Amino acid sequence: MPKIGDIQLPDFPLLLAPMEDVSDPPFRALCKENGADVVYTEFISSEGLIRDAAKSVMKLDIYEKERPVGIQIFGAEMDSMLQAIDIVERTKPDIIDINFGCPVKKVVCKNAGAGILRDIPLMVKLTEAMVKRTQLPVTVKTRLGWDHNSIKIVEVAERLQDVGIQAIAIHGRTRVQMYKGEADWNPIAAVKNNPRMHIPVFGNGDVDTPEAAMRMRDAYGLDGAMIGRASIGNPWFFNHVKHYFETGEHLPSPTMEQRVNIARRHLQMAIDWKGEKLGVFETRRHYTNYFKGIPHFKEYRMKMVTSDAAEDVFAAFDEVLEKFGDYQFAS
């Protein structure tokens, strides 16, 4: 069974991917309750941390019930990243993760995230310095390469392992692809099959069904799956994958009552954590998935995603349960 440092994980663990404005404490708590083995924070700017920017500092909030939890940071300036390590350590996470995979332009243009894939020596140098700075296990999340012509992920992963990272998660697309096309897991399997690799290799990208997770495990031989977009508005996904692994059968899709209840809890936890205004705003992206597939639902979805007052959103949940309570979701 895989380990990250001294953290023992189950056979083929399921990890919640770090996602900006998604994997905050309320959502991480819901995913943890529903089978996620390791959760990661939203990615946090090293520059924001050392400037004490409120939004960056708030992302450091972690809770005991989340463990093991990783805090993910990004940046490309050595001094800033090392100072950020010191700040992150004080919040006592279980893992520090470095983001070398974010494809968003505002991150990449600073040579951070996937931008550093154009400068592998800097990527390795930065990682080595960060590993030396902390006693916590350091992991990396990255992509296959900058573009199709520069995929050197087998070599890159080995070099990162050699400077001390404890696990690597690889998204099966290049930066140029962004989130388009299909993820290619073959280069990730090549990393895993490199006889010099001994740290866990986790796959990421298009793990959107239990069958996909099983293929990643059985056909590609990876050590675990990092799950991102498939979990948005669907924290049950982790348990559904585990049930499928154990039985070969699909769990029934959550009922309307279960969906309304978790949407309510999600909103309330978000409000408790960051206040009504932000709590209401930042849970909106989940509602489309919580209630996906219901016919003639637009009116209710619009209420959920345009209302600024929590009481109006809670009232919309009540209306949905009353009107669509008997709706049967496809498994």
Residue 137 domain-assigned (yes or no): yes
Q: Are residues 238 and 302 in the same domain?
A: no
CATH number of domain containing 159: 3.20.20.70
- Quote the number of domains for the chain: 2
Q: Are residues 235 and 293 in the same domain?
A: no
Side chain identity at residue 107, one-letter code: V
Q: Which of 247, 276, 311 delimits the end of a domain?
A: 247
Q: Are residues 195 and 164 in the same domain?
A: yes
Residue 331 domain-assigned (yes or no): no
Supply the pTM of this predicted model.
Answer: 0.93
Residue 160 domain-assigned (yes or no): yes
Q: Are residues 229 and 138 in the same domain?
A: yes
What pLDDT score was predicted for residue 110? 79
- CB 100, CB 126: distance < 8 Å: no
What pLDDT score was predicted for residue 123? 94
Side chain identity at residue 128, one-letter code: E
31 is catalytic: no
Q: Are residues 183 and 296 in the same domain?
A: no
Can you read off the two tokens belonging to residue 110? 């600073």
Q: Are residues 223 and 120 in the same domain?
A: yes
- Paired with 14 in beta bridges are 225
What pLDDT score was predicted for residue 182? 92
| Bridging pattern class, strands 3-4 and 7-8 | antiparallel
Q: Are residues 14 and 158 in the same domain?
A: yes
CATH number of domain containing 276: 1.10.1200
Residue 330 domain-assigned (yes or no): no
Q: Residue 95: enclosing H or E segment and its boundaries? A: strand 95-100
What number of other Cβ atoms are within 10 A of residue 79's Cβ? Answer: 11
What pLDDT score was predicted for residue 176? 81
Comparing CA positions, the residue from 248, 242, 46, 236 lying closest to residue 130 is 46
Residue 57 domain-assigned (yes or no): yes
Residue 309 domain-assigned (yes or no): yes
Look up the domain containing 149 and give its range: 3-247
Residue 48 domain-assigned (yes or no): yes
Q: Are residues 189 and 294 in the same domain?
A: no
Q: Are residues 263 and 242 in the same domain?
A: no
Comparing CA positions, the residue from 88, 81, 140, 142 lying closest to residue 114 is 142
- CB 9, CB 216: distance < 8 Å: no
Q: Could you report the average pLDDT of every consecutive run of 10 residues in the chain (331 residues)?
A: 94 95 92 97 87 79 90 90 92 94 78 84 95 97 88 96 98 88 95 97 97 98 97 95 96 93 95 93 89 89 93 95 86 70
Comparing CA positions, the residue from 248, 244, 264 lying closest to residue 256 is 264
- Paired with 273 in beta bridges are none
Can you read off the two tokens belonging to residue 47? 């520059």
- The CA distance from 96 to 117, in Å, is 20
| Bridging pattern class, strands 69-74 and 224-227 | unpaired
Q: Which of 228, 247, 266 delimits the end of a domain?
A: 247
What pLDDT score was predicted for residue 256? 93
What pLDDT score was predicted for residue 76? 84
- CB 141, CB 171: distance < 8 Å: yes
Q: Which of 227, 247, 267 delimits the end of a domain?
A: 247
Q: Are residues 178 and 129 in the same domain?
A: yes
What pLDDT score was predicted for residue 285? 86
Q: Are residues 182 and 66 in the same domain?
A: yes
Q: Are residues 115 and 178 in the same domain?
A: yes
Active-site hit among 81, 102, 157, 227: 102
